[in-house]
């Protein structure tokens, strides 16, 4: 007993480090407990070893990526940066009715790892035989440089990918990619714009909304692809008939400011933007600025009425040309007499409009033009917008020429915005190409409601018996104004280089849409008696557009039997009688107008 006790005491420290039994079944010295503890130690050691292996592997991958990104091929950094974009497709673009205008399709793109290409000469020969558009020398340079990544061909079709796989070339691989496509082709090219090969927006709404579209957000425009197609068809037919070098057309909602259609000709297919040039990509509706000619007389008349410079029964002597500072202002078809305000617009008198602008005055003229948005670039969701060209000094000659549409250059959409104010009751609503829904900005009052009603009657009068007669569409009660402006070429106005236009509003009794058509340097033909003015070549375009889009937009025509006929006696008073009768008809067509002349 005296010998065993010391041995027992010598084992006491070993027992202190063992865990106490929790179930009360085994003692610290039992073989079963000892085996369990050993298994736990082994498992713990294995987990640590496996974790270290994973950590080393991860560090190796990260190090390899850093090494590759620092390589000599700049395309690799771009490819890595775009990998997230390939995983999240670019957002779709739709018209107001949900019709798809732009989307992204998943594709596969071909690349090479030059270090794994065993025979660059053979590889280049085989790939060029499969893709003849590849340049062999450039391809060979990519296959032999020191980097680890080189693009060979982007956006392969499944058939092309299968053909490459059949070649079995070492060092050749595929990456997930996406391709931007435009299902409607040329129809809305200038609004949509396009992207580069890496789906980054370069023009149009693709550029303006590049960040949100790149994050996968969809975009709904206020364009109606049906109206867009109609406007393009009619404008293209006129460009071809009159051999114009280009054209512009649009439909604008006067209540919401939404652009329902926007067409610029010549246009391009965004699916094949590489085949287009600067002229076809130029947006004449928003980017081009032009002297708009006699359509500006509507704005001069509106500001004169609204400021009190003239009344409906007032007028000016247009019997003599105006000579001021080396400039002579003449009428295209002079009446050589005193003209009332309705006659000024009916006969499109430059002389009377210049006198009217002088009565308004330069300060008031600038104020109205500014409130109508015509002195600053468009606040539109496009980067392709032009800045208006305005006089540096607002002298009398500038006031007069602006009064009849020269001396200031604006975009067609600037003009449409201003005419929308004249038609909608006098409030300014900035134009937009994005569907606003119920989120309309606060309209800014510019003209009185009475001025708006009077101007609608005068626009209707111009279509009934003025220069816009060829725009009259049965049952639609359309009003508007023609414009013919000589272009400046080499610092001089050219008589045979014109911008011929017509801007219309319908229906004038409850205005909803502005329609504008412009032809750039049209040539007259037998059907126009070889005239190429706005009344001959542009007014019929607006009429045909209005007739075709009215049923689509839900505008119901009135019964022609309900429209008063303009009749009157023959004799020296016939001209005045017809004018007054036509004015009464125009007023009757303009709902709510009060103050008809007796």
The answer to whether the Cα torsion of 166, 171, 174, 179 is positive or negative is: negative
Taking CB atoms within 8 Å and a gap of at least 24, the contacts of 470-474 are 470/535, 470/536, 470/539, 470/540, 470/543, 471/502, 471/504, 471/539, 471/540, 471/542, 471/543, 471/546, 472/543, 473/506, 473/543, 473/546, 473/547, 473/550, 474/547, 474/557, 474/560
Residues 107/178, Cβ–Cβ less than 8 Å: yes
Region of 494 on the Ramachandran plot (φ > 0 left; ψ -120 to 50 alpha; else beta): beta
Q: How many residues does the chain have?
A: 598
> 3-state DSSP call for residue 203?
strand
Instruction: Establish how many alpha carbons lie within 13 A of residue 481's alpha carbon, considering only the half-sphere containing its beta carbon.
Output: 33
DSSP secondary structure code for residue 381 in this structure: S
Residues 318/349, Cβ–Cβ less than 8 Å: yes
Sort 503 into a burial class: Cβ within 10 Å, 0-12 / 13-18 / 19+: buried
CA 545 from chain center: how many Å? 20
Q: Catalytic pick from 199, 294, 411, 452?
A: 294
Cβ count within 10 A of residue 96: 18
**Is-catalytic flag, 109?**
no
The two tokens of residue 27 are 């003692």
The two tokens of residue 375 are 């002195």
Residues 236/502, Cβ–Cβ less than 8 Å: no
- How large is the C-alpha radius of gyration of the chain? 37
Cβ count within 10 A of residue 33: 16
DSSP 95-136: -TT--EEEEEEEEEEEEE-GGG-S-HHHHHHHHHHH-TTS-H
Per-position b or e across 565-583, b if 16+ CB within 10 A of its CB:
ebeeeeeeeeeeebbbbbb
DSSP secondary structure code for residue 568 in this structure: -
The two tokens of residue 447 are 């003209």
The two tokens of residue 176 are 């997930």
Give the integer Cα–Cα distance in Å for 468 and 478.
10
Give the integer Cα–Cα distance in Å for 575 and 581.
10
Q: Which residues are identified as catalytic?
A: 294
């Amino acid at each position: 007993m005296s010998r065993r006790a010391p041995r027992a005491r010598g084992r006491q420290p070993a027992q202190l480090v063992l865990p106490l039994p929790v179930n009360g079944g085994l003692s610290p010295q039992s073989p079963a407990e000892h085996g369990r503890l050993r298994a736990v130690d082994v498992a713990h050691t294995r987990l640590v070893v496996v974790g270290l292996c994973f950590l080393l592997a991860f560090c190796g991958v990260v190090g390899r990526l850093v090494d590759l990104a620092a390589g000599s091929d700049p395309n690799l950094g771009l490819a890595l940066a775009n990998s997230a974009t390939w995983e999240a497709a670019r957002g779709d673009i739709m018209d107001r009715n949900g019709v798809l205008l732009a989307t992204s399709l998943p594709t596969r793109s071909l690349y090479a790892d030059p270090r794994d290409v065993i025979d660059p000469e053979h590889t280049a020969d085989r790939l060029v035989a499969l893709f003849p558009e590849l340049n062999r020398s450039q391809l060979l340079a990519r296959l032999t440089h020191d980097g680890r990544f080189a693009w060979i061909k982007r956006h392969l079709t499944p058939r092309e990918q299968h053909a490459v796989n059949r070649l079995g070339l070492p060092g050749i691989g595929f990456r997930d990619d996406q391709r931007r496509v435009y299902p409607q082709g040329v129809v809305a090219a200038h609004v949509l714009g396009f992207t580069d090969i890496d789906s980054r927006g370069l023009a149009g709404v693709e550029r303006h909304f590049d960040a949100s579209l790149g994050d996968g957000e969809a975009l709904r425009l206020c364009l109606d692809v049906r109206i867009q197609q109609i406007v393009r068809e009619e404008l293209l037919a006129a460009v071809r008939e009159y051999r114009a070098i280009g054209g512009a057309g649009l439909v604008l909602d006067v209540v919401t400011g939404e652009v329902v259609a926007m067409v610029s000709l010549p246009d391009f297919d965004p699916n094949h933007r590489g085949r287009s040039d600067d002229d076809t990509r130029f947006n004449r509706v928003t980017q081009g600025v032009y002297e708009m000619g006699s359509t500006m007389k509507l704005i001069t008349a509106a500001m004169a009425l609204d400021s009190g410079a003239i009344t409906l029964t007032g007028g000016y002597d247009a019997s003599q040309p105006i000579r001021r500072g080396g400039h002579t202002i003449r009428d295209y078809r002079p009446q050589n007499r005193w003209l009332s305000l309705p006659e000024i617009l009916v006969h499109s008198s430059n002389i009377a409009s210049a006198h009217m602008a002088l009565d308004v005055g330069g300060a008031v003229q600038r104020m109205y033009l500014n409130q109508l948005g015509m002195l600053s670039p468009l606040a539109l969701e496009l980067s392709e917008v032009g800045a208006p060209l305005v006089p540096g000094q607002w002298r009398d000659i500038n006031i007069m020429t602006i009064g009849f549409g020269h001396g200031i250059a604006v975009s067609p959409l600037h003009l449409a915005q201003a005419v929308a104010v004249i038609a909608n009751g006098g409030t300014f609503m900035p134009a937009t190409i994005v569907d606003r829904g119920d989120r309309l900005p606060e309209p800014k009052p510019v003209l009185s409601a009475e001025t708006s009603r009077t101007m609608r009657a005068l626009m209707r009068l111009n279509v009934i018996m003025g220069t816009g007669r060829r725009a009259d569409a049965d049952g639609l009660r359309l009003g508007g104004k023609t414009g013919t402006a000589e272009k400046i070429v080499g610092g001089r106005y050219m008589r045979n280089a014109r911008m011929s236009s017509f801007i219309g509003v319908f229906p004038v009794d409850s205005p909803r849409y502005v329609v504008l058509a412009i032809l750039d340097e049209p040539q007259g033909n037998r059907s126009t008696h070889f005239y190429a003015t706005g009344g001959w070549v542009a007014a019929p375009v607006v009429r045909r557009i209005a007739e075709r889009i009215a049923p689509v937009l839900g505008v119901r025509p009135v019964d022609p039997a309900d429209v008063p006929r303009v009749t009157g006696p023959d004799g020296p008073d016939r001209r005045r009688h017809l004018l007054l009768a036509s004015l009464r008809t125009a007023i009757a067509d303009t709902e709510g107008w009060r103050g008809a002349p007796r």
